[in-house]
Amino acid sequence: HEQAITCTGCGVSIQTEDKKGLGYAPASTLNKEVIICQRCFRLKHYNELQPVSLTDDDFLEILNGIGKTDSLVVKIVDIFDFHGSWLPGLHRFVGNNDILLVGNKVDLLPKSANQNRLKNWMQQSAKELGMNPKEISLISAAKGHNIDELAAIIDQYRDGKDVYIVGCTNVGKSTFINRLIKQFGGETEEMITTSHFPGTTLDLIDIPLGEGATLYDTPGIINNHQMAHFVDEKELKVITPKSEIKPMVFQLNEEQTLYFGGLARLDYLKGGRRSFVAFMANNLPIHRTKLEKADDLYEKHLGEMLSPPGPDSLENFPELVKHRFSLKHEKTDIVFSGLGWVTVHDLGAQVEVHAPKGVSVTVRPSLI
Ligand code: GDP
């Protein structure tokens, strides 16, 4: 019979199975006198925050708690996975608190991309999803881009209040907070501590901002319909761009199809020969075929020639569903959340795309 062991740092229950879950500690540390979860260990010894994830219920509890506070909420999304990394319930829970919306990973955008257009698109998409952020910032947590500006905006809007940083897993929340720690609290280890979230047993990281206010990191939540969850870790590396993405140009004739690995598909139906430009991870294999052969190809070659998903991910891979768009702009981006986008040039193209069930596909005026 096992007794529940808790972390002496933050009080969370210790578990040894899920490395990314809350309360993880390597099994080899369990016989030590003082047991501490890996997250607290790294925070204590390296002043470094590790990402953790939560189940839906725990997460809703946290959001509920934030709604009861008078605070500033900073919501981080991945600009390559805007809809996938959105937290659908958030704006209902945060009550009257101001929200700043932060798009991370801007270092991956091609230099030619217009960041103001991206911000406008984020603003409009946020509005459609029911949220009205006070400001939109584009940052690169990894490269340190725009962090000072964002810190200043946070300072302006928090007005002495506490700050909660929220975001789903993999948006780069920990990378961002680790930057803030270096910037604000870098000198002494003791400045950063963990505390319990009001009304729950969940731990939060306190980063003192001065004037008695605190910055809270909240655990990320896993959004199950993200493209990232339909592939394994190795395949995720293939679909995640590592550095500035290089556009790939395809001249397509009518009735031709592009497969993006086996994860998504674009059918060009009608509109004469024209160019399509893919902005995706440069390692993602793109396969061109005839529309009439496309279904058959998918059936026969998904998981091998059309991969990722690889053979091991096929079992849980959702079916592709069709989306139709009328393209109203001179240049339109068709955005596959979690994968990237394809720019369609000139008006009058008839295009259909397919993406895994649950993965969002949207259009916007081209960023380029
Ligand atoms: P969290 O789960 O939200 O805490 O996310 P992490 O901070 O652990 O980051 C998730 C992944 O995104 C990691 O592979 C990071 O290296 C990567 N990442 C974080 N910030 C950036 C960024 O600004 N640019 C790029 N290209 N990658 C980033």
The answer on pLDDT for 57 being more than 80 is no
pLDDT number for residue 47? 65
Distance 327 CA to ligand 1 centre (A): 32
Q: Name the residue of 147, 170, 223 to mutate for ligand 1: max ligand atoms within 8 A of Cβ.
A: 170
Regarding whether 239 and 214 lie in a shared domain, the answer is no
Say yes or no: 358 and 264 in one domain: yes
Whether residues 23 and 115 fall in one domain: no
Q: How many residues does this entry show for the chain? A: 368
Residue 325 in this model has a pLDDT that exceeds 60: yes
If one counts the domains in the chain, the total is 3
**What does DSSP assign to residue 10?**
T
| Interval 308-324: pLDDT, tens | 999 999 988 999 999 99
- Asked whether the predicted pLDDT for residue 132 surpasses 90, the reply is yes
Nearest to 221 by CA among 49, 355, 88: 88
Instruction: For residue 293, give its domain range.
Output: 231-365
- Å from CA of 174 to ligand 1 middle: 7
pLDDT at 186 over 60: no
181 and 63, same structural domain?
yes
In a domain, residue 66? The reply is yes
Is the distance from the beta carbon of residue 142 to the nearest atom of ligand 1 less than 6 Å?
yes
Higher per-residue pLDDT: 18 or 193: 18
Classify residue 226: in a domain, yes or no: no
Q: Does a structural domain hold residue 238?
A: yes
Does ligand 1 come within 6 angstroms of the Cβ of 308?
A: no
Question: Higher-confidence residue: 33 or 27?
Answer: 27
Higher pLDDT, 197 or 139: 139
Give pLDDT tens digits for 74-126: 999 999 999 989 887 787 778 889 999 999 999 999 999 999 999 999 999 99
Residues 351 and 257 grouped into a single domain? yes
How high is the pLDDT of residue 49?
A: 66
> CA quadruple 17, 205, 223, 200: dihedral positive or negative?
positive
92 inside domain: yes
What pLDDT, on a 0 to 100 scale, did the predictor assign at position 55? 65
The contacts of residue 307 (CB under 8 Å, 6+ apart) are: 235, 261, 262, 285
Q: Is the CB of 218 under 6 A from ligand 1?
A: no
- The token pair that represents 366 in the structure block: 């081209």
Q: Above 60 in pLDDT, residue 199?
A: no
pTM: 0.85
What's the ipTM? 0.99
On whether both 65 and 208 belong to a single domain, the answer is yes
Note whether 181 and 71 are same-domain residues: yes
201: confidence class by pLDDT, cuts 50, 70, 90 = very low
| In-domain check, residue 283 | yes
Tell me, yes or no, whether 75 and 38 share the same domain.
Answer: no
Decide: 41 and 51 in contact? Cβ < 8 Å: no
Does residue 148 or residue 292 have the better pLDDT?
Answer: 292
Judge if 243 and 316 occupy the same domain.
yes
For the record, the structure tokens of 172 come out as 């780069």
